[in-house]
Structure 1
Amino acid sequence: MNKKKSNKYIDFEFYSLEDIAKYFRDFLDKKKYIILFAYNGTGKTRLSNKFKNIGKYPDEETGEKTGDTLYYNAFTEDLFYWDNDLENDERRILKMNSNSRFFYALKDLIDMNDKINYFLKRYADFNFKIDYYDYTIAFSKNRIDNIKISRGEENIFIWCFFLAIVQLVIDNNESYKWVKYIYIDDPISSLDDNNVIALASDLAKLLKEDQGEKNKTDLKIVISTHHILFYNILCNEIKTAERLFFQKEDSNIEKYILKNTGDTPFFHHVSMLKKLKKAADSGKLYTYHFNILRSILEKTASFHGYGNFSDCLRESDDENIIVHKRMINILNHGNYSVFEPMEMVEDNKKHFKIILNNFLKDYKFNIEE
């Protein structure tokens, strides 16, 4: 790990995700919360797995591999899978992978339904029933049994299942005494802003219960997200958390940077502007750069009290604001990925550079920071 200081902000350079995971564990010896922001494709989910794997060790008595981290990431959702009863098309159930420690001692937790429902009723209106011996879940709604809930409802249910287990950890339940760390990576995607606010607030409230005298534990928590609103709500709700911006350097070697943003959750926008300016100057512009640009425009508009990101676009004699707004909308919502980047056509590169350069002239950010 290398350390360099830029004004009051400190950058930490790492050359593997495992080194970052080890750094987090050392850092959590003196801090309870880490809140991490990173754009998709940086390596957040892989980092959460590295962190979890470091805590795996053989049990001295049984020799079984055990662990110390209760985690939520994309792999958590894979612990649940559907049996759609293709033969009879009648009994559709969600199965749980009974081999996972996620469901440790589930049979002994007869009030698990109530614990899940406590959270679920805030977000959904369907019912469920857990079979603790077959590790299956049946759903119903409006008196119709054995329904298959939507993908969004399924994600919400799994998230509430996870929160119920977190509550057991905080309450010092004997079945989850093994949990020393909770690692949450991008809990729910594709939520509207109202639900994002509710979810972030509910999560922060639950985690802060661990600070009370009744439930005080040595539990340590890491939360990573690519969702700017979710990140900033958590920063505001959990004021004692260490706030970090995580990014991967554009180079041929594996190199990552952790930036301590201090009391400025939006600081990562400056870093992303620097990244966009560098890409624009080099001509290596990809379609996903429009996603980043729109995100920055939206947050700038919100900060200044404007109603729309287009209020931050400059209208000139040469370029029409309507064209630029339409381009950002279309290219932002396309099926583009940072994993398989698609380079912009030359005409789009030209428009992108005009929008970015005008923005940097109108809104003075110190991109040399």
Structure 2
Amino acid sequence: MSSPSSGFENLEALAEHLRGELENKKFILLYAYNGTGKTRLSMAFKDIGKQEDARDTLYFNAFTEDLFTWDNDLDGDSERVLKINSASRFFAGLAEMEMDNRIRPLLSRYADFDFKIDTTEWEVSFSREITTGEGEQAKTVTVDDIKVSRGEENIFIWCFFLAIVQLAMDGAVAYQWIKYIYIDDPISSLDEQNAIVVANHLVQLYREATNPINTVVSTHHNLFFNVLHYEFKNHFNRQSSQYVLSQNRGTCGYVMRSQKGDTPSFHHVAALAELHRVSQGNTIHTYHFNMLRVVLEKTALFHGYGHFSACIKKDQDDADGILHQRFVDLLSHGKYALFEPSEMGSETKDYFRKILRKFLERYPFNPALFPNEAEEPPTP
């Protein structure tokens, strides 16, 4: 039996629908593979609530990270700080709310570094305790003004966001403008190992809130979706809806299908069919490598491999498959690839087609899903 579905002409219409549904629900959970338009949907949802200077949506997506930028102290190479965009409403209550003490308990679940927020200079400095020496000579020292890793920075920003969510749900005056919260793919920014912890932590925060704010969560991450599915089912069953979002190739619109189970069924097959269709033409964007990587990763997991490169067919002159792996690695990353998609160059398109074609030759998917709509393009 097929799940009920709804069609939408564009992302703006879909965003309006989500807002309407949140009048009766507390949570909406969306699954969509990379390239569908999750980030653009979060921005469309946010933009509907913009009325002159007024806003109504607190959002977390790829652009939230842009509110923080590094000053690496290129002259002295010693005092590295993370600068904060003081003009953003995101930081409306920063000076008055003792944000350090609100973030620190959240961050301690994920990281071993400490931080200090300077609300005069609008910057964050980081430190870490390390142990030097051995035995009786061992001692612990604090190293200040360190530059944390990219993953640690993302975890810090996520915890900063959660602290603001807590303030908003506690009724803090600085955040009373927040009517909706939209969270887009925190797992894209966080380490894979934290998927379960992040999902559980997020739901716990809402369970403990006196007045939880209506929220949309969108993700391409199966494990994250799975954990949230069970958490919402156990604690907010009648207050949540779950959907799979996909593009309608025929109308260039979008389809949102109700998802009852914990795993979006066969979505990788739909993604693969879409990739094949795209490869038959000449309009191939860089984000299609994101979609291809997702399919390769799912296939690798199914066959018990630890890395997607095991599913890339190797050429005789590239015995280790390094070249094709690097193409997938490099072109499946990039913060703006989905929001501002750019078309691949002709040589890159050829490599994309070759990797996809050899993958389909190696794994016997139903050929009826992949009709040849055009003559096979040349390969490098």
TM-score by length of 1: 0.77
Written as runs of structure 1 = structure 2, the 5 A alignment for 1:122-271 is: 122-142=109-129, 143-189=142-188, 191-210=190-209, 215-217=210-212, 219-239=213-233, 240=237, 241-250=240-249, 254-267=252-265, 268-271=267-270
Structure 1: gaps of 5 or more residues: 1-6, 59-64, 314-322
CA contact (8 A) 1:70 1:181 kept: yes
Alignment partners' CA distance in 2, 1:118 and 1:96: 21
Secondary structure at the residue paired with 1:262?
A: coil
What displacement does 1:57 show?
2.2
Aligned pair partner of 2:296 in 294, 297, 302:
294
CA distance in 1, matches of 2:93, 2:228: 31
The number of aligned residues is 331
Q: Tell me, yes or no, if structure 1 residue 26 matches structure 2 residue 20.
A: yes
Q: What amino acid maps onto 2:201 in structure 1?
A: D
Note the C-alpha offset of 1:331. Answer: 6.5
Equivalents in 2 of 1:94, 1:193: separation in Å? Answer: 24
Q: Measure how far apart 1:220 and its partner are.
A: 0.4
CA distance in 2 between partners of 1:278 and 1:18 (Å): 26
**Per the alignment, do residues 266 and 329 of structure 1 end up closer, same or farther by CA in structure 2, a change over 3 Å counting?**
farther
Q: Does 1:351 align with 2:358?
A: yes
8 Å CA contact retained: 1:324, 1:355: no
| TM-score using structure 2 length | 0.75
Return the match for 1:71 from 38, 53, 59. 59
- Counting aligned pairs with the same residue, the percent is 41
**8 A contact 2:94–2:119 mirrored in 1:** yes
1:349 offset after TM fit, Å?
Answer: 5.2
Per-residue CA shift, 1:282-337, capped at 9, x if unaligned? 58897736424324425645xxxx67699x99xxxxxxxxx999999676545357
Where 1:189 maps in the other structure, the secondary structure is: helix
Task: Give yes or no for contact 1:294–1:332 (8 Å, CA) kept in 2.
Answer: no
| Contact 2:222–2:263 (Cα < 8 Å) also in 1 | no
Render the CA deviation track for 1:203-233: whole Å, top value 9, x for unaligned: 12212323xxxx134x200011122221221
Aligned to 2:85: 97
Structure 2, unaligned stretches of length 5 or more?
A: 130-141, 312-318, 370-380
Contact in 1 for aligned 2:230/2:262 (Cα 8 Å): no
Q: Give the AA of the match of 1:293.
A: V
CA distance, structure 1, for counterparts of residue 356 and residue 263 of structure 2: 30
- Using the TM superposition, give the Cα deviation of residue 70 of structure 1 relative to its aligned residue in structure 2, in angstroms: 1.0
Is it true that 1:80 corresponds to 2:74 in the alignment? Answer: no
130-139 or 347-356: which moved more?
347-356
Find out whether 1:13 has 2:7 as its counterpart: yes
